[in-house]
Chain A
């Protein structure tokens, strides 16, 4: 009898807790889901009356779509460099015993975690200033690539280590050159790992605020993360139609990519895949 009471109380407690967690995590997000479709957008999350008028404001803003395009350029550029260089490096490190390999990997892992964009903000800014790469999208891409490469190499090396070598050996037996082996055998086998790294890089760059914020000057070069910030900090009354629709449009790609990777390759958790 006593134990049934305790069980019931435990059950009630559990559902109170679940309810609290649901509200706590959903509350800030509700605004982003409801407000873009509300004809009188306010700061309060309300049930919307389903209109698409707010998206017209978004299309009329000169910076909104332009900044999303800039984000695509930065993300694509950095992801391309990270993927290419990390794939080459991790494959070589996985298959060939280069002197000092283990020390190198150890140092890379350490570096990527201690020299963060925030801690190295000052020297990075100065370096780009001296190189004349302030207000250059290429500069942003290079800095972001340098920051993402160590972790990408580390994760991909782990992945390459776990792929079987027997295919490469058979291809060699049939006379394929090392580069042919790489292109026709290794890359197809490593595709899930490569896709993970590509998506991971895109997501990292897409949301990055600090690096473009300190390195870019012109609004027409700025990515969505920076332009979003200026929407609510600069110039009088914030335009909630613009901010709400822009938030939604800016967030959708990363959510879609996350869903894609977790569906397709089932990566639910890879230590430190997101920082």
Chain B
């Protein structure tokens, strides 16, 4: 009797295990399967991130004396970055870029397309959505030139349409130009996310609100927003992270004129790769990675809360 129970227990355990590992892979082979991927990730993703820590405290340069024998300089790179007028201005421009083009621009455009196009005729709706998606999937060096051409001073489409001859948008309003560009470029993600979020709102709630006289803005504020609050937060965090790491503005203004649109990615490129100041560039890289980490941790916490 006792024997029987123990063997049936063993059976149960074996079944449980086979359910987990249905192909009979075994732990050894499983680790072998994971190893090549982990190796590449370690060498080309983890190691660079950790190396940034070391590089940031040296005066590493590509050429010259410091290239042969990099010296430990402690926190000098961080201190000089934090007191550097150019770095602080770059940080401010980055904040404006993320707030203006992602948090406000992409979210608002994406929501507008997702919400106001719901009752519109199908053909019109599909056309707008297709254009928004096209803006998102075309390679960045192509869209960059499309905007350069459109905003061109003498022959651009925008000046022709507005009748503003000779307005050099990229020289006179470089930040505004890349902000509007990035709102255009990335609105698709918010549109897709909000479309699927809006589809989960029970129609009865919208109907009730309409009966009670809530229309337009009141309806969005009192019915729609409370229902998609989580999605708004998810969307804001993700597009902020991506916009913060976006290098495409370099293709349009290259940080110019006069560093007026030099956001952090462009700053790192100019300082480290162009001018060879790798230690200084690495220090700013680390600051960027830390900011990324903060945004990502917020996002992961949000995911966990929603799951539990």
**Residues of A in contact with B (beta carbons under 8 Å apart):** 6, 10, 14, 17-18, 21-22, 24-32, 42-45, 81, 85-86, 88-89, 91-93, 95-98, 106, 108-127, 129, 142-143, 145-147, 149-150, 153, 165-166, 168-169, 171-172, 178, 181-182, 185-186, 203, 206-207, 209-210, 214, 224-226, 228-229, 232, 243, 247, 250-251, 254-255, 258, 268-269, 271-272, 274-275
Is B268 on the interface with A (CB-CB < 8 A)?
yes
Is B155 on the interface with A (CB-CB < 8 A)?
yes
Complex Cα gap A232–B246 (Å):
20
Residue of A nearest to B158 (CB): A27
Query: Is there contact, CB below 8 Å, between B137 and A258?
Result: yes
Shortest CB-to-CB span from A162 to chain B, Å, is: 14
Is B147 on the interface with A (CB-CB < 8 A)?
yes
Which residues of chain B are near A124, meaning CB under 8 Å?
44, 48
7 A-B pairs besides A29-B131, A119-B245 with CB distance below 8 A are A32-B142, A88-B33, A120-B285, A149-B40, A178-B29, A209-B251, A247-B142
Interface of A is mostly: helix
A-B pairs with beta carbons under 8 Å apart, 9 shown: A14-B119, A24-B184, A97-B20, A113-B241, A120-B45, A214-B273, A228-B145, A254-B139, A268-B192
Stretch at the interface among B4-12, B78-86, B109-117, B201-209: B109-117
Shortest CB-to-CB span from A161 to chain B, Å, is: 11
Which residues of chain B are near A150, meaning CB under 8 Å?
41, 45
Interface string of B186-226 (1 = CB under 8 A from A): 01010011011000000000000000000110000000000
Partner of A42, one of B41, B117, B148, B155: B155
Residue of A nearest to B35 (CB): A89
Q: How many A-B residue pairs have CB under 8 A?
A: 296
Residue of B nearest to A255 (CB): B137
Shortest CB-to-CB span from B232 to chain A, Å, is: 15
Query: Is there contact, CB below 8 Å, between B20 and A95?
Result: yes
> Known contacts A142-B44, A228-B142, A274-B189: does B289 contact A120 (CB below 8 Å)?
yes
Is B89 on the interface with A (CB-CB < 8 A)?
no
Query: Is there contact, CB below 8 Å, between A269 and B128?
Result: no
